[in-house]
Chain A
């Protein structure tokens, strides 16, 4: 039995260990590319959301590499995500891959422990020691997702300062391969220092004054760099410091009911949207308010074309919240008809505008002190890695 799963940004080392710890062979699909998207678009229904098409393409590329069992996360929420695996399995069967199994990984509530059954489904041999294996797998998985989150936050912070273009991208790639190779608990515990040391080796120009921009939206689109046309790298090279809360770790911890940051965002969003309607709608609204209060320069909302929850969130953002908090916001809806140059122009225009806005604000501030607003304002807070990277940038 050879198992595979679709791409989602940097998260592949974590999912790989999750399944390899159960003693099963894993095949990774090719990094998402044009060919895979083409196949996905050809066989999937006309106007499903973009992640469906991309993951279908990933599945096909994994099957061509020899995989016979595919794992797909599902969520029994109100949005289309829950139907993915059922329809995808049907399509794959109709395409001629008759022996393929698509196993759903139920993540509606991780404390119901339905995912243990999925892990056991994947393993061919069944004995008593499976439980210890599962514990180890989950431990490694959570540790690795945490490190992946750290890598992506450090990347967003540091890229706008780099002297040689492409340094950060290289470091991230190397770190992911290193993370994939460390499979001992002692080494894993020390991995945080590896990350900080590697990032500190980058040659940075401390005199720059980057803009602070937050990226949020649907999780697959914001994490997978091919789908969002590498928005993180493009923004970084334009001189924008990127902040992103979304990650697999953030999501998994939320589903274990331990993510208090998301609870705070839900609290902020409650007057505008009192319940979770699937996708990331509630947290996008919460994050917008949160970022506006902590003095950001801009906000980017990325989502797949016709995504139902995110569209509801967008209506609320444009109609009321933008007027109230006045944090510049740009919306990107992605699908397979993406044009690189048009996208770039829009991004550049946005960055130019928020740069001008910041300049104006600073001049005003020199003349008179800013009016005290009713909304409380606070600094951005982050984990220990965020702090160490931040100190490193300012230390020079």
Chain B
């Protein structure tokens, strides 16, 4: 009897320990949800590498669709800008579809440069998201170079995930390296949507087959969450390519352009980081690269604070240089037909202009030929 009992106890003990280890295994993978909105289009490779190195399992919300926008618009009140409403929608989706999530990742980006800021809505993003009803725990880290270096905030992020300082720093190094690779890959001319897909599926960075360059080349300005979110902008890039236009975005431009600070005014330096990049890109095309592109399109979401002033400055510069410029403002009520008409007319206008310039050139060539 006794021996039987002891064996039973032994088995039980063994089972318990096995269960414990199983639970531990399950727990060691912390589930973190990432909404596919706002900074996702800019920093996702960095986050992915960082969080996976710290032992998390990432769950992404799907690309934006109608219900997400509607829910987000219902949650946020009217004056909020569209990207933040979409962000709300993605977070609500994650809460509904994945109730087992341990955390939702909402970073706070304050500044990446000593004399700079992001938009105020990014500064208070975790605070605002925290006020939503029945929200699970929020995983947040603050990037504020003014107060402490990025590595410090990553160490504190690792602490909440139960990891030590050494692992945190290693993960940071790896993430930084990976993000650099990603950026270099973009600068070779790959579209961001394709590159993000590669990152999502853990595939190596492989170039797309080069298509034959098209006749017209546009610079597409704007924030990542406006340009690459194909539902919000009604697949704007595809519409342009269908009309025979090659599209450049800021991410595809060489790094040298952004190194020199932009000067608007003698006494004053602009401080928004995204907007600085936009201004730097446009500065290059206004001065040296004037002939490399045929037009500029600026996508703005309604009630975007920084863009409202930047667009005004760019528009005034364009009037002086005489480069065609189209400014499109989007909100959740976008009608597709109106957008199509605007694109068609803009592209048609530029085609006509090009044709006329070519004819003039031919005539000049003929004249030179005859004179010779």
How far in angstroms is the closest Cβ of chain B from A116? 14
Contact with B along A223-265 (1 / 0, CB 8 A): 0000000000000000000000000000000000000000000
Contacts of A83 in B (CB 8 A): 270, 309
A77 to B110, CA, bound (A): 11
Contacts of B118 in A (CB 8 A): 78
Q: Does A382 contact B (CB under 8 A)?
A: no
18 A-B pairs (CB sep. < 8 Å): A45-B308, A47-B303, A47-B308, A48-B312, A78-B117, A78-B120, A79-B120, A86-B268, A87-B312, A90-B312, A275-B123, A306-B79, A309-B124, A314-B77, A315-B128, A315-B131, A316-B124, A333-B79
How far in angstroms is the closest Cβ of chain B from A312? 4
Q: Does A112 contact B (CB under 8 A)?
A: no
Interchain CB contact under 8 A, B309 and A87: yes
Q: Does B244 contact A (CB under 8 A)?
A: no
Interchain CB contact under 8 A, A306 and B127: no
> Known contacts A87-B313, A277-B123, A277-B124; can you find 16 more A-B pairs with CB under 8 A?
A44-B312, A45-B311, A47-B303, A47-B308, A74-B268, A80-B306, A85-B265, A87-B312, A90-B312, A90-B313, A103-B267, A104-B268, A277-B120, A279-B120, A306-B81, A316-B128
Interchain CB contact under 8 A, B309 and A312: no
Contacts of A308 in B (CB 8 A): 119-121, 305
Interchain CB contact under 8 A, A312 and B117: no
Interchain CB contact under 8 A, B265 and A89: yes
Interchain CB contact under 8 A, B316 and A315: no
How far in angstroms is the closest Cβ of chain A from B281? 18
Q: Does B76 contact A (CB under 8 A)?
A: yes
From 294 to 317 in chain B, residues with beta carbon under 8 angstroms from any chain A beta carbon are 302-303, 305-306, 308-309, 311-313, 316
Q: Does A386 contact B (CB under 8 A)?
A: no
Interchain CB contact under 8 A, A94 and B306: no
The residue from B120, B132, B312 contacting A312, defined by CB atoms under 8 A apart: B120
Q: Closest chain B residue to A84 by CB distance? A: B309
Contacts of B110 in A (CB 8 A): 275
Please give me the 4 A-B residue pairs with the lowest Cβ-Cβ distance, nearest first.
Answer: A319-B131, A78-B117, A45-B312, A312-B124
Q: Does A169 contact B (CB under 8 A)?
A: no
Q: Does A294 contact B (CB under 8 A)?
A: no
Q: Closest chain A residue to B312 by CB distance? A: A45
Q: Does A380 contact B (CB under 8 A)?
A: no
Interface size class of A (residues with CB under 8 A): 35 or more
Q: Does B271 contact A (CB under 8 A)?
A: yes
Q: Closest chain B residue to A77 by CB distance? A: B117
Interchain CB contact under 8 A, A82 and B308: no
Interchain CB contact under 8 A, A312 and B303: no
Contacts of A311 in B (CB 8 A): 79-80, 121
Q: Residues of B with Cβ closer than 8 Å to A?
A: 76-77, 79-81, 110, 115, 117-121, 123-124, 127-128, 131-133, 264-265, 267-268, 270-272, 302-303, 305-306, 308-309, 311-313, 316
Interchain CB contact under 8 A, A320 and B123: no
Q: Closest chain B residue to A318 by CB distance? A: B77
Interchain CB contact under 8 A, B308 and A274: no
A90 to B315, CA, bound (A): 12
Contacts of B264 in A (CB 8 A): 86
Contacts of B305 in A (CB 8 A): 49, 79-80, 306-308
Interface centre among A46, A47, A94, A274 (most CB of B within 10 A): A47
A77 to B306, CA, bound (A): 12
A111 to B64, CA, bound (A): 47
Contact with B along A55-81 (1 / 0, CB 8 A): 000000000000000000010111110
**Given the contacts A47-B308, A315-B131, A78 and B271 also touching, CB distance less than 8 Å:** yes
A281 to B127, CA, bound (A): 12
Interchain CB contact under 8 A, B121 and A312: yes
A91 to B309, CA, bound (A): 11
Q: Closest chain A residue to B124 by CB distance? A: A312
Interchain CB contact under 8 A, B79 and A320: no
Contacts of B120 in A (CB 8 A): 78-79, 277-279, 281, 308-309, 312
Q: Does A191 contact B (CB under 8 A)?
A: no
Contacts of B131 in A (CB 8 A): 315-316, 319-320
